[in-house]
Amino acid sequence: MISENKSLKNFNTMKVDVNAKNFFIVKDVNQLDDIFKHYTFNNVLAIGGGSNIVFTKDFEGLVIKNEIMGIDILFEDNDFVIIKAGAGVNWHEFVLFSIKNNWAGIENLSLIPGTVGAAPVQNIGAYGQEVQDVIISVDAYDFSTFQSITFSNFECQFSYRKSIFKQKKKNNFIITSVTFELKKHFKPNLSYPAIKNALNKKNITHPTLKQLSDTVIEVRQSKLPDYLTLSNCGSFFTNPYLDKAKFDSFINKYQDAPYFSFHNGYKLSAGWLIEQAGWRGKRIGNVGCYDKHALVIVNYGGATGKEIFNFSEMIRKSVYEKFGVTLEYEVNIL
């Protein structure tokens, strides 16, 4: 049943209190036909855990909360396993499920909030892994044609924290399931110093799958607030990309700035830029920049989406004025 004027406060991790004109929880793909063949909506928004959204106003359309569950093994041999997971499956629980079965490929993505269906939209990544590296295909329902479509990895047009579902086909589909290929032979990705250093402190040089996942969780918890106790939506901005010419000019001025090579150019640390601009720990009203990680904006309670957005725009302006670098949003501003 479609609900009307539904509060979305408990459906976004920023705890912004806005209403959806229409709201529906989908648990089965067949329900989508029942909805879209009988009703017409101006706007449709599919949400999972609501961990990457900032609502600045009421949503004048239909919000679909995705709760399509299920994990199925499609193929398995001595080297690989192919798994299809429902879009409503909690992402971290899916990671823990894979680790329990000794299937590798997403262990560095432990504790990322959200759902399986949201993972390809953002092309989530952390500590040297990106979900695009293990996705075979994405199943989605097209609101306009009432058809289910399967997108291959190539057709998803993955790039850094982006996909076709976030850009060209934004809000055209609801993802219903994702198919992954995971490995049975584990080779730890220790490319990020924070993870390697944390393991070294434990005197672990050859971590097991679970040891690596546990360490990723510990590192994340030391830097990022739990949205259940301090409302936030994780990283607010993406790390900015500079081509070689712009990077050379930048690093010549700011030689202590952290960076890493990326696709014939370089990625800067957005958190470092924000901190250097003086925002870490700063608070204006009910909105603030987290004191342990400048990349996280938090709602201390009662902040509106517009207040959060305005605060983020002040950060962007400040960083640009100081460094000449434009920060791009990782979150979706609605």
Residues classed as catalytic = 161, 235, 330
- Closest listed residue to residue 72, CA positions, set 82, 80, 62: 82
* Closest to 43 measured CA to CA, from 148, 170, 157: 170
Parallel, antiparallel, or unpaired: how do β-strands 173-183 and 296-299 relate?
unpaired
Q: At which residue do the structure tokens 């601009």 appear?
A: 277
The two most distant CA atoms of the chain are separated, in Å, by 61
Amino acid identity, residue 209? L
Token pair 């500590």 in the structure block, residue:
127
- Report the alpha-carbon distance of residue 62 to residue 179 in Å, rounded: 27
Quick one: which of 49, 67, 62 has its CA closest to 10? 49
Instruction: Report the alpha-carbon distance of residue 316 to residue 23 in Å, rounded.
Output: 33
DSSP secondary structure letters along 82-150: EEEEETTSBHHHHHHHHHHTT-BSSGGGTT--SBTTHHHHHT-EETTEEGGGTEEEEEEEETTTTEEEE
Please work out, in degrees rounded to the nearest 5, the angle formed at the alpha carbon of residue 190 by the alpha carbons of 272 and 153: 90
Count the Cβ atoms, other than its own, within 10 Å of residue 162.
Answer: 18
Q: What is the DSSP letter of 159?
A: B
Q: Is 327 in contact with 315 (CB distance < 8 Å)?
A: yes
